[in-house]
A and B are shown apart, each in its own frame.
Chain A
Amino acid sequence: GQNIDQPTEMTATEGAIVQINCTYQTSGFNGLFWYQQHAGEAPTFLSYNVLDGLEEKGRFSSFLSRSKGYSYLLLKELQMKDSASYLCAVRDSNYQLIWGAGTKLIIKP
């Protein structure tokens, strides 16, 4: 079967750095996505990785290792508004998105 694993919940302090991990087992791989979803709102696109390595976008970076079936989302200089759920999704060989259950990130002052 196909599955995406990510921690259910993480807590971090304002101003700090947090890394949210995602491991996956899918039938084929055509890219990995990270989305942010605030409570009661729809997801918004954060990043896309299809090649190994680190993609940086401001305070957010995403890393991919295809051989290990592993990705992480790194958030720096955490702000209270970063409190949200972070969803990892992998596009499989059929170009379907397989979703993780999401990681709820709680930021404390």
Chain B
Amino acid sequence: GAVVSQHPSWVICKSGTSVKIECRSLDFQATTMFWYRQFPKQSLMLMATSNEGSKATYEQGVEKDKFLINHASLTLSTLTVTSAHPEDSSFYICSARSPAGDGGETQYFGPGTRLLVL
């Protein structure tokens, strides 16, 4: 099956610093990737849709200047949390849309990145 990796898996940082999270599709090209955030015991919340070679589409209420998304290649999207604050502490999960023909363009998820801002 399709494999999506995320790096790092854990980040602990001080308030005010920036954190970059990488999402890679390892065995397929993904023109579209998605970034989610999940707080404990809550459902997934879509933050933004990342399209290769173009600007990301952000969901309502998500600050585009705080959560910078770059989808520079067909296998890599990055999410940068700028000037992180404790309320940004969460589980960040990316997913990549597989090409058509594989379950109808299924989204495959990376393992997630836990961010703890002190």
Q: Is the CB of B109 within 8 A of A31?
A: no
Chain A interface residues toward B at CB < 8 A: 30-31, 33, 35, 40-45, 48, 50, 87, 95-97, 99-102
B42 to chain A: closest residue by CB: A101
Main secondary structure on chain A at its contact with chain B?
A: loop
Using a Cβ–Cβ cut-off of 8 Å, how many residues does chain B contribute to the interface with A?
18
A48 CB contact (under 8 Å) in B46, B91, B103: B103
Q: Is the CB of B46 within 8 A of A42?
A: no
Which residues from B are CB-within-8-Å of A45? Answer: 1, 103, 106-109
Q: Is the CB of A48 within 8 A of B108?
A: no
A41 CB contact (under 8 Å) in B43, B103, B111: B111
Q: Is the CB of B109 within 8 A of A44?
A: yes
- Cβ distance A40 to chain B, nearest Cβ, rounded Å: 8
Residue from the set A30, A43, A44, A48 with the largest chain B CB neighbour count within 10 Å: A43
A47 to chain B: closest residue by CB: B103
Chain B interface residues toward A at CB < 8 A: 1, 34, 43-44, 46, 49, 91, 93, 103-112
- Cβ distance B50 to chain A, nearest Cβ, rounded Å: 13
A97 CB contact (under 8 Å) in B1, B91, B107, B108: B107
Which residues from B are CB-within-8-Å of A97? Answer: 34, 46, 107
If A45-B103, A48-B104 touch, whether A99 touches B43 (CB-CB below 8 Å) is yes
Which residues from B are CB-within-8-Å of A96? Answer: 49
Q: Is the CB of A101 within 8 A of B112?
A: no
Q: Is the CB of B107 within 8 A of A87?
A: no
